[in-house]
């Protein structure tokens, strides 16, 4: 007997220990575990999460669900459904805490609900994160969406509707290629291929058809993740249209420049013939009637000869000017030394006659240039420095500085200087600051320099002060 009672007390002891263990697990579990009888009266409640409601384990036992949660019609409705035999899952907020709850009915042998058990998890952090994500999703001005690899949007934020004019249903019910401009479909498919290979696409631009049948340029940043595409998009229509307009303007400008060059060429070319006739006939007149004409007539003939000579100069310069782009030679590598040798040879007489000193640069880099055109630029600048000299003999210094992407040339003189108010004007064709009596010239030299330097993708400018001399600069890309 005593053996049996010993066994029993050890069995009871084990049961007690197991029960205590179970109680501890249930009361410490990060959830609420509860049960209720078929009348909806709590028969058990435990779990750490009860603390969030300010309840102790077992505190509600003996109370009806509909009394404890009388202010929560959702809980009453869900527990009633469970009491009628339905398994119910729901998310409800109680006292600022989101609970995801599972109600499960327990049936007796007759198949009638005998009781219900429930488990409720605190999902507040997850719900808050979802809420925050939704707020970001719907308040950003950018279009945000997710799409699947089959080519359908799966979720879109409100910006889509505002920008394209469709409802979410319209956008979700077609493959997104349906909205893409026919000319952009191939490029879009190419981007889709990259995404399906796990590559992100950054700054891809295509056109989307709006509800009103107009098109908008959309710029995309898309990232693939677990068979979904996550994308932000921006309406860049205004920028794109400006860009297109600018390109059109540029083309138009190039076209009108070409027209103008052709006109200048044709006009100057055609003017040569009648001019030659004027010159020849006035020469003939003064030779054939030499001594027979009075002084006035002789003077008039001289004026005609001088004016036609000057006009010949203008026409020659205009012809050179109009030929810069059309008759320019290839731009290729050439040493500055070779260029300066030619320039100094050509200017030898003018330098000597004007007692000018020209100092050459310390370095002679290899540059990318049309040799004869850059010769012409240096020749024009140096001969201007000689022509527009002050009282002192001309001293001209040429230097070359290496910059990051270009060579900068400087031609510095000690001449009469230029009022910087005219710094732009003197680069325009026929613009001169002096009369023909003071200094001869056609006013084309600097315009020619500008056109040549621009053909080489460089810039030309000057720094000067009246009475102190001038520095002309130009750059040539390396
Ligand atoms: P041109 O010498 O035939 O008049 P340019 O186009 O070469 O034509 O020069 C335009 C004007 O710029 C000149 O009339 C002159 O007034 C001014 N200029 C050019 N170079 C210099 C210089 N080195 N010093 C002073 N003035 C200059």
Structure tokens at 288: 């054939």
Question: For the purposes of burial, counting CB atoms within 10 Å of the CB of 21, is it exposed (0-12), middle (13-18) or buried (19 or more)?
Answer: exposed
CA angle 199, 202, 203 (to 5 degrees): 150
d(CA 138, CA 132): 10
What is the best residue among 310, 318, 382, 388 to mutate for testing ligand 1's pocket, by most ligand atoms within 8 Å of CB?
388
d(CA 181, CA 217): 10
Q: Give the strand pairing for 153-156 and 215-225.
A: unpaired
Strands of the sheet containing 153-156, edge to edge, are: 153-156, 143-148, 228-235, 215-225, 201-209
Q: How far is the CA of 383 from the centre of ligand 1 (A)?
A: 10
Q: How far is the CA of 387 from the centre of ligand 1 (A)?
A: 8
Specify the residue with its C-alpha closest to ligand 1, atom 21.
384
d(CA 210, CA 235): 12
d(CA 170, CA 403): 57
Predicted confidence (pLDDT) at residue 313 exceeds the cutoff of 90: no
| pLDDT averaged over every residue in the chain | 91
User: What does the pLDDT read at residue 430?
Assistant: 83
φ/ψ region of 368 (left if φ > 0, alpha if ψ in -120 to 50, else beta) reads beta
Specify the residue with its C-alpha closest to ligand 1, atom 16.
433
Residue with tokens 């007149």: 285
Q: How far is the CA of 266 from the centre of ligand 1 (A)?
A: 27
Contact assessment for residue 457 and residue 475, using Cβ atoms and an 8 Å cutoff: no
Predicted confidence (pLDDT) at residue 330 exceeds the cutoff of 90: no
Q: What is the number of the ligand 1 atom nearest to the C-alpha of 441?
A: 3
Question: Does the beta carbon of 310 sit less than 6 angstroms from any atom of ligand 1?
Answer: no
- In this prediction, residues 270-282 reach a mean pLDDT of 88
Q: Which residues pair with 368 in a beta bridge?
A: 333
Question: Does the beta carbon of 383 sit less than 6 angstroms from any atom of ligand 1?
Answer: no
Predicted confidence (pLDDT) at residue 2 exceeds the cutoff of 70: no
The more confident residue out of 65 and 431 is: 65
Structure tokens at 382: 């140096």
d(CA 449, CA 452): 5
What is the best residue among 418, 428, 447, 448 to mutate for testing ligand 1's pocket, by most ligand atoms within 8 Å of CB?
418
User: What does the pLDDT read at residue 345?
Assistant: 94
Q: How far is the CA of 447 from the centre of ligand 1 (A)?
A: 10
Contact assessment for residue 143 and residue 220, using Cβ atoms and an 8 Å cutoff: no
Q: What is the number of the ligand 1 atom nearest to the C-alpha of 431?
A: 10
- In this prediction, residues 156-163 reach a mean pLDDT of 93
Q: What is the dihedral of CA 210, 214, 219, 221, to 10 degrees?
A: 20
Q: Give the strand pairing for 201-209 and 153-156.
A: unpaired
pLDDT tens digits for range 280-294: 999 898 889 888 888
What is the best residue among 420, 446, 452 to mutate for testing ligand 1's pocket, by most ligand atoms within 8 Å of CB?
446
pLDDT tens digits for range 390-438: 999 999 999 999 999 999 999 999 999 999 999 999 999 888 888 777 8
Q: Is 376 helix (H, G, I), strand (E, B) or coil?
A: helix
Q: What is the chain's length? A: 478
Global pTM reads 0.55
d(CA 234, CA 232): 7
Phi, psi at 211, each rounded to 5°: -55, -35
Q: How far is CA 72 from the centre of its chain?
A: 54
User: What does the pLDDT read at residue 359?
Assistant: 97
Short-list 360, 335, 338, 350, CA closest to 389: 350
pLDDT tens digits for range 99-154: 999 999 999 999 999 999 999 999 999 999 988 888 888 888 889 999 999 999 99
Question: Does the beta carbon of 317 sit less than 6 angstroms from any atom of ligand 1?
Answer: no
Predicted confidence (pLDDT) at residue 255 exceeds the cutoff of 90: no
Question: Does the beta carbon of 463 sit less than 6 angstroms from any atom of ligand 1?
Answer: no
- In this prediction, residues 205-229 reach a mean pLDDT of 95
Specify the residue with its C-alpha closest to ligand 1, atom 7.
445
Question: For the purposes of burial, counting CB atoms within 10 Å of the CB of 80, is it exposed (0-12), middle (13-18) or buried (19 or more)?
Answer: middle
Question: Does the beta carbon of 394 sit less than 6 angstroms from any atom of ligand 1?
Answer: no
Query: 375: pLDDT confidence band, cut at 50, 70 and 90?
Result: very high
Tell me how crowded residue 92 is: count the other CB atoms within 10 A of its CB: 16
Query: 3: pLDDT confidence band, cut at 50, 70 and 90?
Result: low
Question: Does the beta carbon of 377 sit less than 6 angstroms from any atom of ligand 1?
Answer: no
- What share of the chain has pLDDT > 90, as a percent? 68
Specify the residue with its C-alpha closest to ligand 1, atom 13.
432
Question: Does the beta carbon of 429 sit less than 6 angstroms from any atom of ligand 1?
Answer: no
Query: 248: pLDDT confidence band, cut at 50, 70 and 90?
Result: very high
Question: Does the beta carbon of 441 sit less than 6 angstroms from any atom of ligand 1?
Answer: yes
Contact assessment for residue 320 and residue 372, using Cβ atoms and an 8 Å cutoff: no
d(CA 340, CA 368): 15
d(CA 337, CA 318): 29
Query: 266: pLDDT confidence band, cut at 50, 70 and 90?
Result: confident
Query: 377: pLDDT confidence band, cut at 50, 70 and 90?
Result: very high
Q: Is 334 helix (H, G, I), strand (E, B) or coil?
A: strand
Question: Does the beta carbon of 321 sit less than 6 angstroms from any atom of ligand 1?
Answer: no
Q: Give the strand pairing for 42-46 and 143-148.
A: unpaired
Phi, psi at 472, each rounded to 5°: -100, 135
Structure tokens at 113: 């609900």
């Amino acid at each position: 007997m005593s053996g049996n009672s010993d066994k029993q007390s050890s069995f009871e002891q084990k049961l007690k220990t197991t029960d205590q263990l179970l109680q501890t697990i249930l009361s410490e579990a990060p959830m609420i575990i509860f049960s209720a009888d078929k009348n909806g009266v709590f028969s058990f409640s435990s779990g750490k999460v009860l603390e969030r409601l300010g309840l102790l384990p077992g505190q509600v036992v003996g109370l009806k669900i509909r009394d404890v949660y009388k202010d929560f019609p959702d809980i009453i409705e869900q527990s009633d459904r469970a009491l009628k035999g339905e398994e119910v899952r729901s998310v409800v907020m109680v006292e600022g805490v989101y609970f995801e709850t599972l109600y499960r009915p327990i049936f007796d042998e007759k198949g009638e609900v005998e009781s219900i058990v429930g488990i409720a998890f605190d999902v507040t952090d997850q719900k808050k994160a979802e809420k925050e994500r939704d707020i970001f999703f719907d308040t950003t001005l950018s279009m945000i969406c997710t799409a699947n690899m089959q080519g359908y949007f799966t979720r879109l934020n409100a910006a889509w509707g505002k920008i394209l004019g469709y409802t979410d249903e319209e956008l979700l019910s077609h493959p997104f290629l349906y909205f893409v401009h026919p000319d952009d479909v191939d490029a879009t498919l190419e981007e889709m291929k990259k995404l399906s290979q796990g590559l992100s696409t950054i700054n891809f631009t295509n056109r989307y058809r709006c509800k009103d049948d107009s098109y908008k340029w959309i710029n995309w940043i898309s990232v693939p993740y677990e068979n979904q595409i996550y994308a932000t998009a921006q309406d860049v229509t205004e920028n794109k249209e400006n860009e297109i307009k600018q390109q059109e303007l540029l083309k138009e400008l190039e076209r009108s420049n070409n027209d103008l060059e052709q006109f200048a060429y044709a006009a100057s070319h055609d003017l040569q013939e009648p001019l030659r006739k004027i010159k020849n006939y006035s020469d003939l007149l003064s030779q054939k009637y030499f001594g027979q004409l009075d002084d006035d007539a002789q003077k008039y003939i001289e004026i005609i000869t001088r004016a036609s000579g000057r006009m010949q100069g203008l026409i020659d310069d205009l012809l050179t000017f109009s030929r810069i782009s059309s008759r320019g030679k290839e731009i290729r590598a050439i040493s500055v030394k070779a260029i300066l040798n030619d320039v100094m040879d050509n200017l030898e007489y003018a330098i000597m006659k004007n007692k000018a000193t020209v100092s050459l640069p310390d370095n002679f880099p290899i540059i990318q240039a049309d040799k004869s055109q850059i010769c012409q630029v240096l020749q024009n600048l140096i001969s201007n420095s000689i022509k527009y000299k002050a009282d002192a003999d001309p001293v001209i210094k040429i230097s070359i500085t290496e910059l990051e992407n270009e060579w900068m040339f400087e031609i510095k003189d000690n001449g009469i200087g230029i009022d910087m108010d005219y710094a732009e004007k003197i680069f325009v064709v026929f613009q001169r600051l002096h009369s023909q009596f003071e200094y001869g010239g056609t006013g084309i030299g600097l315009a020619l320099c500008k056109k040549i330097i621009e053909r080489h993708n460089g810039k030309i400018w000057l720094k000067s002060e009246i009475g102190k001399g001038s520095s002309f600069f130009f750059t040539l890309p390396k």
